[in-house]
Structure 1
Amino acid sequence: MKDIKGIKRILIRATNWIGDSIMSLPALVETKRNFPEAHISVLLRPWVKPIFESHPCVDEIIVYDKKRDKSRNLLELARIIRMLRNRQFDMAILFQNAFEAALIAFLSDIRIRLGLDTDGRRFLLSHPVKRRTHQHHVENYLDILRGIGIRTRETEPVLYIKDRHISEAEMILKECGIETDEPLIGLAPGAMYGPAKRWPARYFATIGDWAVTRWGAKVIIMGSRKEMDICAHVRALMKEDAINLCGKTDLGVSMGIIKRCNMLVSNDSGLMHIAAALGVATIAIFGSTDPAATGPRGAHFRIIRHDIPCSPCFRRECPYDLQCLYSVTPDQVWKDMEDMWNETSSILGQGWHNK
Structure 2
Amino acid sequence: MRVLVVKMSSLGDVVHALPGVTDAARALGDRVRFDWVVEEAFAAIPARHPAVDQVLPIAWRRWRGDLRRHRAELAAFLRSLRAQRYDLVVDAQGLIKSATVTALARGTVKAGLSRASAREGLAALAYRRRVAVPKGGHAVDRVRRLFAGALDYPAPAGEPDFGLTPAARPTGRCVLLHGTTWQSKHWPERFWIDLAQRAGDTLEVVVPWGNQAERERAERIAAAAPARVLPRGPLEALIDELAGASLVIGVDSGLAHLAAALGVPTLVVYGPTSSALTGSRGARARNLQAGFPCSPCLARQCRYRGPPQPVDGMPVEPACFATLTPERVWRAAAELAR
Q: By the TM > 0.5 criterion, same fold? A: yes
Q: Is residue 30 from structure 1 mapped to residue 27 from structure 2 by the alignment?
A: no
Q: Give the secondary-structure state (helix, strand or coil) at the position aligned to 1:121.
A: helix
For 1:182 and 1:124, how far apart are their aligned partners in 2? 47
Superposed, which structure 2 residues align to 1:44-59 within 5 Å?
44-59=38-53
Which of 92, 115, 130 does residue 89 from structure 2 map onto?
Answer: 92
Residue 61 and residue 98 in structure 1: after superposition, are their counterparts in 2 closer, same or farther (change >3 A)? same
Indicate the residue corresponding to 2:154 in structure 1: 151
Distance 1:115 1:182 in 2: 41
* Structure 2 CA distance for aligned equivalents of residues 182 and 258 of structure 1: 10
TM alignment of 1:156-235, pairs within 5 A: 156-158=160-162, 160=164, 183-192=172-181, 194-213=182-201, 215=202, 217-225=203-211, 227-235=214-222
Query: Which residue, 318, 324, 330 being the options, matches 2:320?
Result: 324
| C-alpha distance in 1 between matches for 2:173 and 2:146 | 39
Q: Which residue does the alignment assign to 1:3?
A: none
- 1:108-155 Cα offsets, whole Å, 9 max, x none, are 342311112332212111122345222110111112123344213264
Q: How far, CA to CA, are the matches of 2:104 and 2:171 in structure 1?
A: 54
Task: Name the residue aligned to 1:102.
Answer: 99
Give the structure-1-normalised TM-score: 0.81
Q: What corresponds to 1:274 in structure 2?
A: 258
Structure 2 distance, partners of 1:212, 1:29, is 37
Question: Aligned residue pairs: how many?
Answer: 314
Amino acid at match of 1:14: K
Residues 159 and 266 of structure 1, relative CA distance in 2, 3 Å threshold? farther
Q: Per the alignment, do residues 146 and 260 of structure 1 end up closer, same or farther by CA in structure 2, a change over 3 Å counting? A: closer
Percent identical residues: 25
TM-score by length of 2: 0.85
Give the Cα–Cα distance (whole angstroms) in 2 for the partners of residues 104 and 181 of structure 1. Answer: 40
* Kept after mapping to 2: 8 A contact 1:24/1:157: no
Cα shift at 1:16? 1.0
Shift of 1:190: 1.1
Q: Distance in 2 between matches of 1:251 and 1:301?
A: 21
1:304 corresponds to 2:288: yes
Letter in 2 for 1:338: A
Q: Any conservation in 1 of the 2:165–2:262 contact (CA below 8 Å)?
A: no
Q: Which residue of 1 aligns with 2:335?
A: 339
Unpaired runs of at least 5, structure 2: 305-316
Q: Which structure dedicates a bigger proportion of its chain to strand?
A: 2
Q: Residue 83 of structure 2: SS of its match in structure 1?
A: helix
| CA displacement, residues 266-320 of structure 1 (integer Å, 9 cap, x when unaligned) | 0011121121111111111001100011111112122112232211111111022
Specify which structure has the higher proportion of helix.
1
After the TM superposition, which of the residue ranges 19-28 and 301-310 deviates more from structure 2? Answer: 301-310
Q: 2:312 aligns to what?
A: none
Q: Distance in 1 between matches of 2:287 and 2:254?
A: 15
Residue 201 (structure 1) shift: 1.1
Q: Is the 8 A contact 1:138 1:155 kept in 2?
A: no
**Alignment correspondent of 2:269:** 285
| Distance verdict in 2 for CA 1:34–1:341, change over 3 Å | closer
Deviations 1:232-252 (A, max 9, x none): 33334x2x321111x612211
